[in-house]
Chains A and B, each alone.
Chain A
Amino acid sequence: MQTYLSENNLKTLLDRLIAGGKRVIAPRLDAGTPLYGPLADAAGVVLDQLPRRSAKEAFFPVCEDIMSYDKEGQQVTLTDVNPASFPETVLVGVRPCDAAAIPVLDAVFSWDYKDEFFLERRKKTTIIGLACTQADDACFCTAVGLSPADPKGSDLFLTPVEGGGYACETFTEKGETLVNGNRELFAEPNGAPALPPAEPQTEKFDLKKVKAWLDDHFEDPAWDGIAVRCVGCGACAFLCPACHCFDIVDEGTEKAGKRRKSWDACGFWKFTHHASGHNPRDLQPKRYRNRIMHKFKYYDDKFGQTLCTGCGRCIRFCPVGIDIAAIVSEISKK
């Protein structure tokens, strides 16, 4: 279904959703840093900056409690967190590179083990995507087969049009329900042309060729050259919309505490450190190799998808300037 939504009506919609008890997550400034987070009111929404962290945290928070324990004498009480208590959510202003990563994550979180925390939030969230009209030289969604106007992962997709406001298209039942429930805010399409989409400059990767090289080059001297400068932090993984590793730890005292799930990263030395003291990925090039392998080979082997949507966050924020687009394009030329 195609409609037109003015900027004012978008704000009215968000305020109405908030007033109706829905959690509305949107890009806003958090002490000056653009981040997705729950909105107090529509005035706080910031749609012209790519949030520093991706939208995955709406489903997979930086840190969440998944259980608590209490001990009284010999009596231990375990209390599960009930995912049924997660709020109905509308996630707004999601860039195509972020939205496209969400169905990619569905695959891993609903595979042999069904991650109820992720899946329950997923079920209860309606995603309003937003086309990009500006890209920088770290953006490369087009190189991995997406685009600044790709509605993949969005229930409802907004494209800015000339003269202001958005052309709005629904792609799922969730999207239709949202529009139908607020019909008077959505007008007939006004025929105004869409603003030109952003044009990321990176050449398209031949992902098949990349994978073919990776299939055969687990051992290759090239890895040392690629990763020698990596300092092994988690910045790239933590900012990435598709990275999804986590750790589970119990924190608290002997008497009471919580079991917590929080983000983890394959760049960390500790990630593969065995209790025996042995670390199979003992050097950083092996850890960085894993990052590339996971994104462009293992995930494809297992789920038939690429674990990178070209958002460029890891490029912008790698402390030592490691550029995954440059690396993948180099591999595709091998």
Chain B
Amino acid sequence: MTNTIDTSIYAAVTEAIQGEVRRILSEGSVSAVVGYAAARRKGSAQPIVITDAARAEELVFSAACVNNLAVYLTKAKKEIPKTGKIGIVVKGCDLKALVGLMGESQLKREDLYLIGVPCAGVLASTAQPSQELTGDTIAPKCRECDARLPAGCDFVPDQRPVSIELAGKYSAEIARLEAMTPAERWAYWKEQFKKCIKCYACRQVCPFCFCEQCLCDRNKPQMVETTPRPAGNTAWHIVRAMHLAGRCAGCAECERVCPMDIPLNLLNRKMAKELKELYDYEAGFEVREKGPLAMYDEKDDQSFIK
């Protein structure tokens, strides 16, 4: 296989994470740690929550550690103990979600112990967990990553910055869509939304989909058609894109988990691009109380008011 990506750093990262977690759990400075553990299938990894220092050796970091663990710290996940300080293993892209959640008063920095991972990339959902990380098997989001070394963490196992040059996929795809006529673009998205089966995996993994009751689940009265049919599907995806605009941290989890291969992150990236152009705003780099869609400024673009 061509263009293998160097992931040799992950072995040292794994060891350092284990040591640090053993330390913080036995010291009692955190009550639980959310990280990754090896799973049954060859090379696979899965999220794990540990509270016992003796289990620190179960923790791993590898190219199969695809999940954004920030979802476990939201109020949507009531199973995770939220008492005391919680440790969490974060890649740079995941950290953006945590930063966003802090801005939305969902989390406090002082309640977190951030274990940041210097990251060479993770596997795409189309790859088998046992595959080697290459230019072909790497997750699309990692191709245009701007956060390989998470900043401002409490512990970073290895400060060596990782640099990889790969051509971006989202930017190219967004440019392709932008070049279409509105009718062509509408046809494209209609085709995509048609495939949706309303399994809501995209919503359930999204750190920002933490509403106690999603508008799309409401039935008293029903706000959006709940059946997986073109009208309700389109409404669902538009509602979601709008609710995530200016908040989505770009972790691409929604797209990774979609069993119907709907390119959801394209919608998010497009919204992010609009916000950058209109408000010079980017989600996920600093804790901010309000995003551009939640406040008014006289300098705001008003050209859309006709």
Q: CB-CB < 8 A to A136: which residues of B? A: 128
> Are the C-beta atoms of A224 and B259 separated by less than 8 Å?
no
Q: Mark B199-217, 1 if CB is under 8 A from A, else 0.
A: 1110111000000000001
Complex Cα distance, B217 from A188, in Å, reads 57
Complex Cα distance, B260 from A260, in Å, reads 22
Q: CB-CB < 8 A to B200: which residues of A? A: 233-234, 268
User: How near does chain B come to A81, taking the closest CB pair, in angstroms?
Assistant: 15
User: How near does chain B come to A240, taking the closest CB pair, in angstroms?
Assistant: 11
Q: A33-B260, A137-B42 are in contact. Are A63 and B227 (CB under 8 A)?
A: yes
> Are the C-beta atoms of B67 and A320 separated by less than 8 Å?
yes
Smallest CB-CB separation from B219: which chain A residue? A249
> Are the C-beta atoms of A262 and B228 separated by less than 8 Å?
yes
Complex Cα distance, B204 from A284, in Å, reads 12
User: How near does chain B come to A196, taking the closest CB pair, in angstroms?
Assistant: 21
> Are the C-beta atoms of B201 and A233 separated by less than 8 Å?
yes
- Which residues 204-244 in B have Cβ within 8 Å of A in the complex? 204-205, 217, 219, 222, 225-229, 232
Complex Cα distance, B177 from A8, in Å, reads 40
Complex Cα distance, B44 from A136, in Å, reads 13
Smallest CB-CB separation from B261: which chain A residue? A33
Q: A32-B261, A231-B205 are in contact. Are A63 and B229 (CB under 8 A)?
A: yes
B191 in contact (CB, < 8 A): yes
Q: Mark B50-69, 1 if CB is under 8 A from A, else 0.
A: 00000000000000000100
A292 in contact (CB, < 8 A): no
B102 in contact (CB, < 8 A): no
> Are the C-beta atoms of B45 and A321 separated by less than 8 Å?
yes
B47 in contact (CB, < 8 A): yes
Complex Cα distance, B261 from A53, in Å, reads 12
User: How near does chain A come to B212, taking the closest CB pair, in angstroms?
Assistant: 9
Q: Mark A1-35, 1 if CB is under 8 A from B, else 0.
A: 00000000000000000000000000000111100
Complex Cα distance, B44 from A137, in Å, reads 11
Q: CB-CB < 8 A to B198: which residues of A? A: 234, 262-263
Q: CB-CB < 8 A to A284: which residues of B? A: 77-79
Complex Cα distance, B32 from A198, in Å, reads 42
User: How near does chain A come to B295, taking the closest CB pair, in angstroms?
Assistant: 31
Complex Cα distance, B41 from A249, in Å, reads 39
B80 in contact (CB, < 8 A): yes
> Contact partner of B195 among A33, A251, A262, A285, CB < 8 A?
A33
B249 in contact (CB, < 8 A): no
B107 in contact (CB, < 8 A): no
> Are the C-beta atoms of B78 and A320 separated by less than 8 Å?
no
> Are the C-beta atoms of B48 and A229 separated by less than 8 Å?
yes
> Contact partner of A315 among B41, B197, B227, CB < 8 A?
B41
> Are the C-beta atoms of A234 and B201 separated by less than 8 Å?
yes
> Contact partner of A238 among B77, B128, B199, B229, CB < 8 A?
B199
> Are the C-beta atoms of A322 and B201 separated by less than 8 Å?
no
B46 in contact (CB, < 8 A): yes
Q: CB-CB < 8 A to B306: which residues of A? A: none
> Are the C-beta atoms of B256 and A319 separated by less than 8 Å?
yes
Q: A63-B227, A263-B228, A321-B39 are in contact. Are A231 and B261 (CB under 8 A)?
A: no
Q: CB-CB < 8 A to A239: which residues of B? A: 259
User: How near does chain A come to B177, taking the closest CB pair, in angstroms?
Assistant: 15
B49 in contact (CB, < 8 A): yes
> Are the C-beta atoms of B225 and A63 separated by less than 8 Å?
no
> Are the C-beta atoms of B47 and A234 separated by less than 8 Å?
no
Q: CB-CB < 8 A to A108: which residues of B? A: none
Complex Cα distance, B222 from A263, in Å, reads 17
Smallest CB-CB separation from B43: which chain A residue? A137
> Are the C-beta atoms of B41 and A229 separated by less than 8 Å?
no
- Which residues 210-266 in A have Cβ within 8 Å of B in the complex? 224, 227-229, 231-235, 237-239, 247, 249, 251, 260, 262-263, 265
Q: CB-CB < 8 A to A97: which residues of B? A: none
> Are the C-beta atoms of B39 and A235 separated by less than 8 Å?
no
User: How near does chain A come to B233, taking the closest CB pair, in angstroms?
Assistant: 10
Complex Cα distance, B225 from A284, in Å, reads 25
- Which residues 88-145 in A have Cβ within 8 Å of B in the complex? 136-138
User: How near does chain B come to A306, taking the closest CB pair, in angstroms?
Assistant: 20
> Are the C-beta atoms of A228 and B41 separated by less than 8 Å?
no
| 15 residue pairs from A and B, CB less than 8 Å apart | A31-B192, A31-B195, A137-B42, A227-B79, A229-B47, A229-B49, A231-B77, A233-B203, A233-B204, A235-B257, A235-B259, A263-B197, A268-B200, A283-B78, A319-B205
List 5 other contacts, CB 8 Å, given A231-B71, A233-B257, A283-B79.
A52-B260, A137-B41, A231-B201, A262-B226, A325-B40
Listed from nearest, the 7 A-B pairs whose CB atoms lie closest are A321-B46, A319-B257, A233-B201, A233-B204, A234-B199, A326-B40, A231-B204
